[in-house]
Amino acid sequence: MTNSQQETDASPLEGPITGDKLLESFPRYRDPEDVTVLERPGREAETVSNEELLEPELAGPLEHDCYVHQVEALEALERGENVCVATSTSSGKTRIYALQIARNYLEARRRSAENERGDSTAYVLYPTKALSRDQERELNDFYDRLGLDITVRVYDGDTERGTERRQIREEADVIISNFAGVNTYLHDHDRWARFFSACDLVVIDESHTYTGVHGMHVAWILRRLRRVLEYYGSEPQFVMTSATIGNPGEHSEGLIDEPVTVVDEDGSPKGPRDIVLWNPPPRAREDGNAGSEDGGERADAVPDEGEASDAVEGVIERVPATVESPKLLSHLAYQNAQTLLFTPSRKLAELSVKRASQHRQDRRRHYTDPDRGSAIEPYHAGHSRQKRHGTEHQLKNGLLDGVASTNALELGINVGEMDATVQMGYPGQRQSFWQQIGRAGRGTDRALSVLVAEHRTLDQYVVSNPEFLLESDVEDAVADVGNDAVFAQHLLCAADELAIDERDAGSFADRERLERALEMWRRAGKLTGVLETGVSYRGPPRPQSTISLYATRGEEYEVRLAEGVDEKHDPEMEPLARERVYRDFHEGAVRLHEGRQYEVCEVVHDGPRPHVTVRPTDVDYYTVTQSDVTVLDATSEESRGIGDFTLHYGRGRVLVYHGTYDEVGVHGGKRRAQGVPTDNPPLSMDTQLCWLEVPREVERELVEKYRNFSVPDLDSELAETPHLGYAAGLHAAEHATIGVAPLELMLDKRDLGGLATLTIDSHLDRGAGEESAESADGTTQSAAPGDNEPKNLAAARATVRATAAELERTPSSGWFIYDGIEGGLGFSKAIYENYETVARRAREHIADCECGRVDGCPACVMDEQCGNDNQPLHRGAAIDVLDALLEAEDSEGLEVSGSEATAEPDEETSAQSEGRRPPLFYS
């Protein structure tokens, strides 16, 4: 590559576009350091002759032989196993269950000839309605080709009520729906008797999407579905199809609560692929002079610049991916490469099409034939079904040169294969990354995928650690059923569907948990009866309607448009969980949704339909909530040592007070109005958490090492203590651990929170041991609930401080990570189990950051949600703590007993010599 790229005509190059060709032809100077080309080799198809696998009736009409993974899956199904197929995009996963349905159908036909039950049905569940319609067509076409009379029908919220629904229930062989539908329809299961009695297969397509809150609801809906199917005498097999995730087996088994055979050896052919990691050029200091960008200025200037300016602006600025990616879309389309651009919002999908065309005009000398490759359209769920159909069709038939789409095209809608993909920013997860780029690749032709990095933590991590993408591990999906609040809601539904009895103990939930939940609901008057003879539901009709698939308390806030505002501004947002409303949707909040700004003008918490009212706005700031957090009464349920460190997992109460907010300028990030009250009450959550206790030895060393650290103007009487540097290290390590968790687990970091503290013990439930002894006789404590619960955050903090002052032993220091949703999501449990990996990532990430600042930058240890305004933070101390943890892991087993023995006698003296430790805690 040269530095003197000329502005010449970019005639389409010979052959398929490659990474190198892209670099050569793109009209602009590019710093070689900003672009990495990764070459991935192709792979031949591995197939097995259909005659060996399938009966002649099916093998005959099939055009292609089956790939080995399809064969493997079909064989496992033949053996009666449940299967999860986790292979790449367009590797023919649908064909697996389509063929299995056909096999079941033929089998049933044979039975019917022998006068036995002559029916076989399948319930096929997709994550979106759009996908349902798409697949209905695909499956019907497939069976037409096979010449089989199998009826495939969609049955969801859009299906006309009355006759049509009844007809589908009574006649269809395959019913396609989604989990919100299954949840609702289970209430009237008797109407589905025919379909359920004959059900041989349940398909969960794109099963990796069921993670977090949504995943746990789906897991319970599946358990309810299985109970009902069992009632009708059906024990169907399950087929799950998943994108490549880290734990397909564990995740699938968590969803359906049965053993699952994983098929992940991909036998479909793949052409070679170039993956280009594209960091946009630094932004010129003065905007506007687009033609004269001079990258040379960038290279070494950055760290110095960082020293000079304040925290936020010290970080270099680059051209945003939102501006850069449409240019690539435009360019690739010009190069005859049919290209799909993935954008994070509908608005950006629309905007990108305009920007792509603008790019041509700006570079007219370069793109001499203005009409070539200019058929570019947007695509997103906001378009009518008809319009989307049109676009899909035109893509398939090559009538379009490019499409800018939201992730609506990420999931399996059939649009054929592209030559290239461009991603506007890292999609957040490797799983998603691979799924999207899988859209490019025609047969065995070379495919091109460009990731345009945004200037933010994960993106910059990815472009500077390209090997990260290629590691075989992808994120783990978490579908946890440990949340008792969610379990309890589904238990009500299950009882409404069929009386809960002995058979459910140990299968729906373990007996102890089941008994406790039944007793809770009996006492609350919602259930009646006992396990022996059956427990019935007796609350308000249709408990299924209180399940909200995106929240844990059955309490969702609808997002409404203010009165008098034109419908077209309706943000069409999913309902919000209470926790989100408190944090991000207080009155006065300015939120960006799909590229449009909204102001929250009213929040109604009470009443049967809590809601948030928004109106469109156009201001040059956004709002950030300032939060106070503390943890109370944490109880350890599991713990393990990592060297001398101790890691706990358990439950506790987290009090969060999103008390004020700041208005932050969109440009430059300057804070304007600060500390505006939200008028929110504090939020109390019983949730799952994990915490790490740093050994005394490590603590002592680090307190000493960083004892001179101070933060000017830190608003705290404790700012002058020798512990500050160490505490800042814990705080930074806590932020970083949470920040990198999405690299390992499929989660939204906003669902996690943390608290670094010097006095872990004062956050624990100190009475836990005694209480359990007392309640052994089966009685409950006599105090009324909530009697000694602190009513507000200040009181809670005072409690923690008072507890700290009363502690007899010197407490441990460390940090908590909690699930920011009532009842928990299983995330802290997953982090507990993968702590070393997460810690290693966090350590790398802090150490590698270019910011060079002691207190870090937003790309490493600063967190926008920090309740303490990102103070105090200490990168060095954080690295030291994490190093100690990771070394401890390596040397595990060595001298453990020895160090414990020596630690104890030292304790008294150390506590005395350091003085009483301050009960510092930072979220």
What residues numbered 194-213 form the site for other proteins, per CB under 8 A? 197
Residue placing its CB nearer to other proteins in the complex, 63 or 787: 787
Please tell me the distance from the alpha carbon of residue 303 to that of residue 853, in angstroms, as a whole number: 9
Q: Does 541 bind other proteins (CB under 8 A)?
A: yes
Q: Strands 683-694 and 645-665: what pairing?
A: antiparallel
> Of the listed pieces 69-77, 268-276, 479-487, 712-720, which binds other proteins according to CB under 8 A?
479-487
Shortest Å, Cβ 397 to other proteins: 46
- Would you state the structure tokens that stand for residue 847, as one six-digit string? 């150490």
What residues numbered 675-704 form the site for other proteins, per CB under 8 A? 686-687
Q: What is the 3-state secondary structure (H, E, C) of 159-204?
A: CCCCHHHHHHHHHCCEEEECHHHHHHHHHHHHHHHHHHHCEEEEEE
465, 847 Cβ separation under 8 angstroms: no
Q: Considering CB under 8 A, how many residues would be counted as binding other proteins?
A: 53
486, 217 Cβ separation under 8 angstroms: yes
Please tell me the distance from the alpha carbon of residue 886 to that of residue 880, in angstroms, as a whole number: 10
Q: Strands 645-665 and 676-677: what pairing?
A: antiparallel
Of positions 6, 163, 782, 788, contacts other proteins by CB under 8 A: 782
Q: Does 148 bind other proteins (CB under 8 A)?
A: no
Residue placing its CB nearer to other proteins in the complex, 183 or 483: 483
Please tell me the distance from the alpha carbon of residue 539 to that of residue 726, in angstroms, as a whole number: 53
Q: Does 496 bind other proteins (CB under 8 A)?
A: yes
- Would you state the structure tokens that stand for residue 428, as one six-digit string? 């957040």
Quick note: the x/- pattern for other proteins over 601-620, rule CB under 8 A, is -------x------------
Shortest Å, Cβ 783 to other proteins: 7
Q: Does 539 bind other proteins (CB under 8 A)?
A: yes
What residues numbered 546-575 form the site for other proteins, per CB under 8 A? 553
Of positions 12, 249, 529, 641, contacts other proteins by CB under 8 A: 529
Cα dihedral sign for 181, 183, 189, 192? positive
Residue placing its CB nearer to other proteins in the complex, 263 or 498: 498
Q: Does 506 bind other proteins (CB under 8 A)?
A: no
Of positions 286, 371, 784, 808, contacts other proteins by CB under 8 A: 784
Distances (CA, A) of 124 to 188, 192, 410, 691, 872: 18, 15, 19, 41, 52
Of positions 358, 674, 781, 912, contacts other proteins by CB under 8 A: 781
> Of the listed pieces 56-64, 107-115, 150-158, 484-492, which binds other proteins according to CB under 8 A?
484-492
Q: Does 478 bind other proteins (CB under 8 A)?
A: no
57, 295 Cβ separation under 8 angstroms: no
Please tell me the distance from the alpha carbon of residue 575 to that of residue 578, in angstroms, as a whole number: 10
Residue placing its CB nearer to other proteins in the complex, 277 or 654: 654
Of positions 532, 567, 717, 770, contacts other proteins by CB under 8 A: 532
Please tell me the distance from the alpha carbon of residue 850 to that of residue 562, in angstroms, as a whole number: 45
Burial readout 167-200 (b: 16 or more C-beta within 10 A, e: otherwise)? ebbeebbbbbbbbbbbbbbbbebeebeebbebbb
627, 658 Cβ separation under 8 angstroms: yes
Shortest Å, Cβ 230 to other proteins: 12
What residues numbered 78-107 form the site for other proteins, per CB under 8 A? none
Of positions 299, 399, 524, 673, contacts other proteins by CB under 8 A: 524
What's at 780, amino acid-wise? T
- Would you state the structure tokens that stand for residue 484, as one six-digit string? 């008792």
Shortest Å, Cβ 190 to other proteins: 5
Of positions 519, 620, 638, 720, contacts other proteins by CB under 8 A: 519
550 Cβ neighbours under 8 A, 6+ residues apart: 213, 214, 556, 574, 575, 576, 577
Shortest Å, Cβ 539 to other proteins: 7
Q: Does 822 bind other proteins (CB under 8 A)?
A: yes
Shortest Å, Cβ 738 to other proteins: 22
Shortest Å, Cβ 180 to other proteins: 21
Closest CA to 571 of 560, 579, 585: 560
Closest CA to 582 of 821, 921, 819, 754: 821
Please tell me the distance from the alpha carbon of residue 612 to that of residue 561, in angstroms, as a whole number: 8
Shortest Å, Cβ 634 to other proteins: 14
Residue placing its CB nearer to other proteins in the complex, 540 or 712: 540
Q: Does 190 bind other proteins (CB under 8 A)?
A: yes
Q: How far is residue 260 CA from its own chain's centroid?
A: 23
Residue placing its CB nearer to other proteins in the complex, 499 or 573: 499
What's at 525, amino acid-wise? G
Residue placing its CB nearer to other proteins in the complex, 237 or 688: 688
Shortest Å, Cβ 536 to other proteins: 3
> Of the listed pieces 246-254, 454-462, 521-529, 728-736, which binds other proteins according to CB under 8 A?
521-529
Of positions 441, 742, 823, 826, contacts other proteins by CB under 8 A: 823
Give the long-range contacts of residues 289-294, CB within 8 A, separation 24 or more.
Answer: 290/362, 293/28, 293/29, 294/29
Q: Does 785 bind other proteins (CB under 8 A)?
A: yes
Distances (CA, A) of 882 to 462, 645, 760, 835: 21, 11, 18, 11
Residue placing its CB nearer to other proteins in the complex, 697 or 765: 765
> Of the listed pieces 518-526, 621-629, 720-728, 746-754, which binds other proteins according to CB under 8 A?
518-526
Shortest Å, Cβ 558 to other proteins: 16
Residue placing its CB nearer to other proteins in the complex, 392 or 822: 822
Shortest Å, Cβ 603 to other proteins: 20
Q: Does 162 bind other proteins (CB under 8 A)?
A: no
Closest CA to 690 of 732, 642, 636: 636
At residue 82, the 3 state secondary structure works out as coil
Rg, C-alpha atoms of the chain: 29
Q: What is the 3-state secondary structure (H, E, C) of 320-336?
A: CHHHHHHHHHHHHHHCC
Of positions 56, 525, 769, 905, contacts other proteins by CB under 8 A: 525
Please tell me the distance from the alpha carbon of residue 914 to that of residue 676, in angstroms, as a whole number: 39
Residue 872 preceded by cis peptide, ω within 30 = yes
Q: Does 909 bind other proteins (CB under 8 A)?
A: no
Of positions 68, 106, 530, 565, contacts other proteins by CB under 8 A: 530
> Of the listed pieces 7-15, 389-397, 658-666, 819-827, which binds other proteins according to CB under 8 A?
819-827
Shortest Å, Cβ 56 to other proteins: 35
Site residues for other proteins per CB under 8 A = 190, 193, 197, 483-485, 488-489, 495-499, 501, 513, 516-517, 519-525, 528-530, 532-541, 553, 608, 651, 686-687, 779-786, 822-824
